[in-house]
């Protein structure tokens, strides 16, 4: 997909990193781990996750806490945590450009955070169970109630409802295993919700394929011939 650009391994002081741009939303993500946790973070039989989201402007507040909470919900099931008992993995997402009116929306940022954390986790070599891809969709406030994938900020503001979808995809981007996150806000109907899932499914598979391509390019570059 043309609207998604990403670079992997751009930071030198962390184990894995990525920078992802989708339209005007721009997120940089760093992953450190597995490392030794503080005693209060330690989990006896699995990997502890420390997830931090930093906003583009100002300091983080409740809004970022909710972003972190949702990001944790998406990443926890895809990481093979049982491989790293009593260890810690830090995932930090710095939003460089929110690309949306952050007073009202956070969906575009969250989708970018999910996709870039996935790339950074791969770069850090953390064992994953499956892959994830995330997309924002909006239903417009027009007569046909058209569904827009990856809407711009203008479109978000004019939309009737906004949806973010993150899917767990396995088998070389061919099989959808589960819905990791669907968060819908606004005014919509059941039929529209199923339509959203249907369209979102296709876009997520597209994104998953382009994420794989990015990883593949990166791996090819790093092989010494």
- List interacting residues with other proteins (CB under 8 A): 59-63, 65-66, 69, 73, 76-77, 101, 104, 141, 157-162, 168, 177-190, 193-194, 197
Among residues 158, 74, 80, the alpha carbon closest in space to that of 112 is found at 74
Q: How far is the CB of 202 from other proteins (least distance, A)?
A: 16
If the CB atoms of residues 59 and 224 are measured against other proteins, the closer one turns out to be 59
Strand order in the sheet with 131-140: 147-149, 131-140, 159-170
Q: Is 62 exposed, middle or buried (0-12, 13-18, 19+ CB in 10 A)?
A: exposed
If the CB atoms of residues 6 and 167 are measured against other proteins, the closer one turns out to be 167
Virtual torsion, Cα 150, 133, 4, 52, nearest 10 deg: 100
If the CB atoms of residues 123 and 168 are measured against other proteins, the closer one turns out to be 168
Q: How far is the CB of 179 from other proteins (least distance, A)?
A: 5
Residue 96 preceded by cis peptide, ω within 30: no
If the CB atoms of residues 40 and 225 are measured against other proteins, the closer one turns out to be 40
Q: How far is the CB of 201 from other proteins (least distance, A)?
A: 11
Q: How far is the CB of 118 from other proteins (least distance, A)?
A: 16
Distances in Å between the alpha carbon of 199 and those of 58, 194, 206?
35, 9, 11
Q: DSSP secondary-structure letter at 152?
A: -
Q: How far is the CB of 24 from other proteins (least distance, A)?
A: 18
If the CB atoms of residues 11 and 197 are measured against other proteins, the closer one turns out to be 197
Per-residue tokens: 167: 């899917």
């Amino acid at each position: 997909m043309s609207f998604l650009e990403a670079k992997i391994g751009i930071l030198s002081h962390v184990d894995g990193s990525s920078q992802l741009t989708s339209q005007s939303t721009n997120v940089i993500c760093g992953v450190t781990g597995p490392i030794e946790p503080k005693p209060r973070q330690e989990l006896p039989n699995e990997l502890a996750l420390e997830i931090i989201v930093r906003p583009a402007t100002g300091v983080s507040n409740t809004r970022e806490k909710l972003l972190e909470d949702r990001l944790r919900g998406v990443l926890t099931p895809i990481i093979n945590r049982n491989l790293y008992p009593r260890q810690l993995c830090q995932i930090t997402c710095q939003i460089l450009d929110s690309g949306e009116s952050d007073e009202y929306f956070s969906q575009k940022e969250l989708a970018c955070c999910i996709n870039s954390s996935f790339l950074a986790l791969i770069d850090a070599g953390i064992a994953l169970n499956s892959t994830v891809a995330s997309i924002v969709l909006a239903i417009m406030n027009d007569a046909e109630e058209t569904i827009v994938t990856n809407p711009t900020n203008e479109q978000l503001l004019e939309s009737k409802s906004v949806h973010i979808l993150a899917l767990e995809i396995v088998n070389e981007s061919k099989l959808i295993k589960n819905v990791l996150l669907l968060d819908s806000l606004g005014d919509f109907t059941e039929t529209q919700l199923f339509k959203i899932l249907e369209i979102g499914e296709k876009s997520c598979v597209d994104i998953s394929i382009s994420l794989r391509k990015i990883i593949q390019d990166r791996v090819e570059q790093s092989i010494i011939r």
